Amino acid sequence: AQKITQTQPGMFVQEKEAVTLDCTYDTSDPSYGLFWYKQPSSGEMIFLIYQGSYDQQNATEGRYSLNFQKARKSANLVISASQLGDSAMYFCAMREIDFGNEKLTFGTGTRLTIIP
């Protein structure tokens, strides 16, 4: 079974609209972390936002917010007021402890294209 599932291979969104990128995860550990990264064509993996499994409130970072629904094992990224520079690949990732070792698993990514 996939640990991290991103069901949207690609999305097209009009500039200035809000966009939601889906991410579901699978783990039996109580302690884990969820990350979203943006990867532009240059290749760099840019950290966007983090949500810890024990965090009571949804994480927010500027225009980015994470809609964390623990019971549904869902960690969707919401980008408000999208901009042309938001066009990139977006990866959801989960970090957990596996037999004492940290393990980071990535989803397959969503390619977001912002249309002017």
Partner 1 sequence: KAGVTQTPRYLIKTRGQQVTLSCSPISGHRSVSWYQQTPGQGLQFLFEYFSETQRNKGNFPGRFSGRQFSNSRSEMNVSTLELGDSALYLCASSSGGGANTGELFFGEGSRLTVL
Using the contact rule CB under 8 A, the part of the chain among 11-19, 65-73, 77-85, 91-99 near partner 1 is 91-99
Q: Would you count residue 1 as binding partner 1 (CB under 8 A)?
A: no
Count Cα atoms within 13 angstroms, Cβ side, for 105: 17
Stretch that binds partner 1, among 16-24, 71-79, 80-88, 103-111 (CB under 8 A): 103-111
Binding string, residues 33-72; x marks residues near partner 1 by CB under 8 A: x-x-x----xxxxxx--x-xxx------------------
Helix or strand run (H / E) with residue 25: strand 24-25
**Residues 65, 109, 112, 114: which binds partner 1 (CB under 8 A)?**
109
For the bound state, the minimum distance from the C-beta of residue 31 to partner 1, rounded and expressed in Å, comes to 5
DSSP codes, 50-114: EEETT-SS--EETTEEEEEETTTTEEEEEESS--GGG-EEEEEEEEEEETTEEEEEE---EEEEE
Residue 35 corresponds to which tokens in the numbers above?
Answer: 């990350």
Determine how β-strand 74-79 pairs with β-strand 101-106. unpaired
Contact positions vs partner 1 (CB under 8 A)? 29, 31-33, 35, 37, 42-47, 50, 52-54, 91, 95-98, 101-106, 108-109
